[in-house]
Structures are given as C-alpha cells and as structure tokens.
Amino acid sequence: MSEKQSKLSVIDIISLTTFSIGALAVTISAFLPPNALSAQMSILGVLLLLGSFYYIYKFIEKVSKDKQIIGSILIAFVLALTIYTSKNILKLIQTAEESSIAWRFFLLKGTPGKGALSSDKGYIEKVNQIDGARKDIRIIGIKTETLEKLQGTWPIDWRKYAQIVNAFKGTSNMLLFDIFFVDYKPGQKEAMEGSLKGTDNVIFDYSIESTAESRSSVINLEQRIEKLRRFKLKNVIDEDDQGVSWLSFAVPPIEQVTEISAGVGFANIRKEESSSNRHMPLVAKVYNHGPNNETEYYPSIDLIATTRFLGVNVVEDTEVVMGKYVKIKNIPKKMIKDKNGEHDIMTVPNPEREIVIPIDIYGQMEINFVGSLFCFRDDDLYDVAEWGKEYAEQYSDTIFLVAMYYATGRGASKDTHLSPYGEMSGIEHHAHAINTILNQSFMASTPEGVNIFIFLLVAIIIGFVQPKVKTWFAFVFIFLLVIAYTTVSLVLFSKFNLVIPLPSIIIEQLMIFVAIIGFKILTEEANVKYIRNTFSKFVSKDVVDELLRHPEKIALGGAKREITIFFSDIRGFTTLSEALSPEELVKLLNEYLSTMTEIIIECKGTIDKYMGDAIMAFWGAPVDLEEHAYYACVASLIQMARLTELQASWKQRNLPSIDIGIGLNTGSAVVGNMGSSQRMDYTCMGDTINLGSRLEGSNKTYGTNIIISEYTYERVKDRVYARELDLVQVKGKTHPVRIYELIGLIDDNDIKKVTKPLVIS
C-alpha cells in the first residue's frame, strides 16, 4: 500500500467507526432478552451498517488488491445482519419460520393422520406403530357418539364422571379431568364429592382468566383460591422479574373438588401469534394474586400429572427458573411393568434422578409432537363408564385423560387448537406435552447467539465462494447450499429435536446471491469477460482461473519473459491436400489440430496462433511456469504418441497418414497484447521465436520429429533422453547453436504430473 493509500481520511475513520458500532449493536441485541430494547438496538445497528456501507466499500477499493472478494464478503455480512434483524421483527418472516417448523413436523412425524376413527382397525394399527407415543397415555373422550348415547346435551351430568372415578379406585392408574367443575350443581356435586373420597389418583384442571372483568361474578372465589394454594409453586427464581405474566386470576374448581383431589392445575393454552400452537404452559405467573397482593406461580395440569406419575410432590420437588427451566427433582427409582417387561419409570434415567424441562419467559415448554391427530389410543366416555371396574383393571400405571374429543352437535363446546397438523383437540395438546416430559424428549431452539453465528457463517461462505466461481456455477452452488442447509435442518429436527432458522436463512442466501451478482456486474464483470475471451481458447482452465484471481499478472502492454516456444507443422501438406476433397481435408485437419491443441492446453501451454496446418504455442506466459521447458518437451512427446494412435485410426478409414515436425527453443521474448486498436492478440516476439521456427523445419533435413535447441536441452537434460544432432549456424546468430533430437522421458510418470491441475503460488 502506498503512503497515500495508507493514510485514513476523516470519512474513512467515521465510516469504519459507524460500521463497527452497527455490527456490535446487532450482535449484542442477539444476546439480550427479546423485548423492545433489543429490537430497537438491532434496528439502529442495521441502519448504521447500511448508512456506512458505501464509504466502507470505497475504503476497501483503496486498500485491497482483491476488492471483488472483500466487497462480496462485505455485502454478505451486511445483508446477513439485516435479515437476522428482520427475522426477529417482521411478522411475515416470523410466520414463515413457524410454518417451516410445522412443515418439519408434518414431513417427519405426520401419521396416522386426520380423519382416522378410533374404531377403525387400520387406525389402531397405525397408533400401535407410532414411535414415541406412549401406550401409558390414553384418552377417555367425549365424542359425538358419547352425546348421542347419553341422549342429552352438553354439559354431561357429573354423576357419569363419578362412575368413572369409582371404577378407577384402588388401581395404579391416574385420572386427569380436563373438565371445569366450577358450578355448584345440586345432586351432581354430592355425587362427585362422594366418589373422590378415598382416592389419591384423580386430578383436575381449571382456567386462569386473562382479564379481571369477571372476577366478581365467581361464587366463593377467595375460598377456592385458598384451597388451590396448596399446589402453589414455592421454589421459583424469577431474576429481574423477566417472567411474563399473561394471566389475571385463577378460577379453580369448587372447594369440595379442589380440597379432595390429588392435584389441580391450570389448563390454559397461550394463543400463539404465529400460525400454530407448539407450546404448552407449565408455570403461570400471576401478579397481585396472593393474600398480600404478591405475585404467585401455579403449575399447569400437565406438570401436576407428570409429577404425580413420577411419584414426587409438585410443590416440594420442583424448581423453576423463569425463562430457563422447570426441574422435577427427587424422582424415586420405581420400576413399572408393561408388555415389554420391567423398566425404570424414567425413560432416560440419570444419577441425579431429575428431569429438566426448558421453558421460555412465559413459562412455556415446546411440545414435541410425535405424530399428527389421533396418536394416542382412546375410548368413548360412555363405554368406559358402563364397563366400570372391568375396564379400569385392564391397565396399570397409565394416565387417562378425560376430555372433550372432537364432539359436535347437541350444544357441545369446541375444544380445539391449531397445531402443526391443523386443528387438534385440546386434550391431544396436553397428551403430547405429557408425552414429551415423560419421554424426556424435549424440543430446543438454537439460542439467538447461535442464530446470528449461523447467519454470519452462511454469509461468509457465500461471500467467499461466489466471487471465485462462474455465474452459472454460482447458481448451482446456491441451489446445493439451500438443499444442504434444509437437509441439515431436517436431520437436526428429526434426530436431535433441534429447531434452527430455515426460511430466513434461505432468504438470506438468495438475497446475498443476487446482490453479489449485481456487484460483479457493476464492478469486475467486464474485466472477467475480457480475460476469459482472451485466454480461455488457448490456455488451460487453471491458468485462466489464476488470471481471474490475479489479473495484474497480465502484461497488457508487453513484457520481457523467459519462455519456451513451440512450432509444429505437417509434412507433405500439399500432397495431402491434393489427395482429399476440401471437405475431407478440413475434417482431417480439424481432428488433428483439435487433438494437438488439447494436449498443449492440458500441459499448461498457451496457443499463440494457427498458420494453416502449423501450430505456434509457448510456455511460461501469461502465468509464470518455472519448468516451462520441461512442460513443452512432455507435451511434444505426448503429441507424437497421440499421433501414432490417430494414424492407426486414419488407416482403418482409408485416409492418408500425417507426419509432423516439432521445434522447441527456450529464451527471452516480449510477450503481451500486440496489434492495433481494432485488433489485438496476445502473442510473443523475438529471436527466440525465430530459432524455434527454424528448428521445426530442420526435422526434414535430419529425418527426425522433435528437435530442441541447446538452451532447452540445458534445462531438461537430467529428465529426458536426447541425441545430439549437429552444431548449426543460424541466421542472425554470431555463434552456432547445438541441436538435439528429443527421444523420450526418463520418468514416464512425469506425464501425470505435467497434466494435473496447476498449482501456482
């Protein structure tokens, strides 16, 4: 860099500082909790990046030799941070991300499918085959058929529920009622209360209202809440009050139910802003809910059910850190039996006897759906009530979920929520959540710090690779990159339950791809086109690639270089042309010239020109080649070997045979673009070229095929077999030149070394 270039202007300093602050702001925002402050910081960072981008690029132009790659990486970097910020702010991209997660669920875990009937044999077979759907979770469903059998309308008489409770007394099973027992129904209340006495395996859910408007209308609310507080969570850490409260006050079941039950948990499902619900709240934070208006934390029915099933107390044996995890502790080492034998009650036992469930700031876990609708075995509530003990005693250590189950008509309430598979019953959401906890198979999303790393890594890869390849290959590269990244996201989702950004990364890839193409068109495309048009027809691909990487190696005005010149000519061309028709002659000549040209280019030579049946080429330019003399010798010997094969082919086709003479000379020459403003060629000039031409013609005199000068011989004598021919006086030279016949290579393996891709320092 020159002294002038090394000095930073005031604009350079300001733009570099602004750019750095912008990048730092976006990066820091990734590690902050998702709130208004982090959103504002990321937006400010992007604005600073975009505002300083032009000046940063101008600075790069001054100091960088490879502005194409540096500029492309810069574009990719800025777009990556911009799209990352958009992912966290724009609802459209957020919805696309959620839809992509639903697509992953549907693609990888989407059986048995909507429309299956519990009485259908095929459905039962599919349910039995679902990997991950626990057989110890079953649904006792209130279906359309249930209401028809009861010949009544919703709600169902509590005495029917009491029948089921009585049937399950004394069994090791658990009953979870996803039914709100909030009214004081004469006769029904007493029946339900009586059935609960002497049980320790029945739990109930309730609703926590989102507003305080209806608080005064609930009968005996304070007494109910007081009964509920025996299930209130105690071991809760909520640093900086970061947990978000989205509920207002609890409406527990009537006191008689809450007091006798084995557990009572809330059943609310937080409505997602995105297209489907993938979360299940485990902990509810409720402001001003305690006797002294303190904040209280309550467990969900799913947390109650799993702790009861595992044999621990939800109050004493759980630890909650809002925004991080719910930990179920002190799980006893209990063995349970099923059709597969005896196994630990923990699916994945650990020495700590703990299950750690990741939760967000709303107290929600991510549900790992193991399939679509109807994944869990179910029975009709009416049938279960009629079968009674006969039904209940078939099972042991099983959680039965009693709830509305796709019932329609007769005033039935709708209890469905949008899932990755479409509308799914609320109780199935709970079943999948309980299933997730007991299987210890938790979904996880990459932290924002990891996400921003992914965005930047993808950007740098594209920014580094795309400028180095042809535009058509860049299309292929981006296509393969999209496919590869999508495949990785599916594998991580399927094998590790890990969710990584998908649509936003694909958008990033496409936008960077388009932006870099535009950048190339506006900056270097003309130079690339010139180099390719000028050199691709007479030098090898790796030489062209080297020139594209370092165009400064081309001496546009001509420069003195040491090269090895090559001349070849067909012997008896006039006689040959008289023996063939013009069409046959052209076809034969093209076959010969094509073969010889390919060999020269394959051996890193540069085709200078064709003169009728003669070929002029050279080694050592436009890119330096240390062993140019040896490369020329190897190419010449390969040509003679290939010519022998062609002669055999021509003989079979009754065509005349061709013989050639080759002359090689090594020395200094002027190499560069020469000609007029209308026509310019990359060629070489000097005495070295003249001697090479005369040596080619001398083959007729000495009856040889390849003659090399003493200057070439001195550079290759340890690697070739050669026979001294003569000491000749050449016009224009004061001293005679010794000439040699090139016979062969000492090591034939050198052919592979010469023809392999060129590595240029």
Burial classification of residue 563, based on how many CB atoms lie within 10 Å of its CB (0-12 exposed, 13-18 middle, 19 or more buried)? buried
- β-sheet bridge partners, residue 563: 667
Residue 267: name the closest of 347, 181, 199 by CA. 181
74-78, 88-92, 420-424: which range is least confident on average? Answer: 88-92
All CATH 3.30.70.1230 domain ranges in the chain, comma separated? 539-755
* Whether 740 contacts 722, CB under 8 Å: yes
Tally of CA atoms within 13 A in the half-sphere of 600 that contains its CB:
28
Residue 539 has pLDDT above 60, yes or no: no
**What value does the mean pLDDT take over residues 291-308?**
96
Q: pTM of this prediction?
A: 0.68
Residue 456: name the closest of 86, 85, 77, 83 by CA. 77
Task: List CB contacts of 479: < 8 A, sequence separation 6 or more.
Answer: none
Task: List CB contacts of 115: < 8 A, sequence separation 6 or more.
Answer: none
What pLDDT does 546 receive? 59
Query: What percent of the chain has pLDDT above 90?
Result: 53
**What value does the mean pLDDT take over residues 534-541?**
56
pLDDT in tens, 271-282: 876 667 899 999
* pLDDT tier, 128 (very low <50, low <70, confident <90, very high otherwise): low
Phi and psi at residue 107, to the nearest 5°:
-70, -40
pLDDT in tens, 407-434: 887 667 788 888 888 889 999 999 999 9
Give residue 746's Cα distance to chain centre: 52
What pLDDT does 471 receive? 84
Phi and psi at residue 661, to the nearest 5°:
-125, 145
233-242, 284-293, 544-553: which range is least confident on average? Answer: 544-553
346-360, 377-391, 671-685, 698-712: which range is least confident on average? Answer: 671-685
Distance between CA atoms of 474 and 462, rounded to whole angstroms? Answer: 9
Task: List CB contacts of 599: < 8 A, sequence separation 6 or more.
Answer: 635, 638, 639, 642
Bigger pLDDT: 632 or 658? 632
Bigger pLDDT: 497 or 577? 497
8-22, 227-241, 357-371: which range is least confident on average? Answer: 8-22
What pLDDT does 336 receive? 87
What pLDDT does 550 receive? 58
* Whether 386 contacts 140, CB under 8 Å: no
The DSSP result for 246-298, as a single string, is: ---EEEPPPHHHHHHSSEEEE---PPPSSSS--EEE-EEEETT-STTS--EEE
**What value does the mean pLDDT take over residues 113-118?**
40
- CATH code of the domain occupying 539-755: 3.30.70.1230
- β-sheet bridge partners, residue 251: 207
Q: What is the mean pLDDT of the chain?
A: 86
Other Cβ atoms within 10 Å of 72 Cβ, number: 28
**What value does the mean pLDDT take over residues 685-700?**
89
- β-sheet bridge partners, residue 140: 379, 402
Query: If DSSP codes are grouped into helix, strand and coil, which group holds residue 338?
Result: strand
What pLDDT does 329 receive? 97
Residue 187 has pLDDT above 60, yes or no: yes
pLDDT in tens, 603-644: 888 888 888 889 999 998 877 888 999 999 999 999 999 999
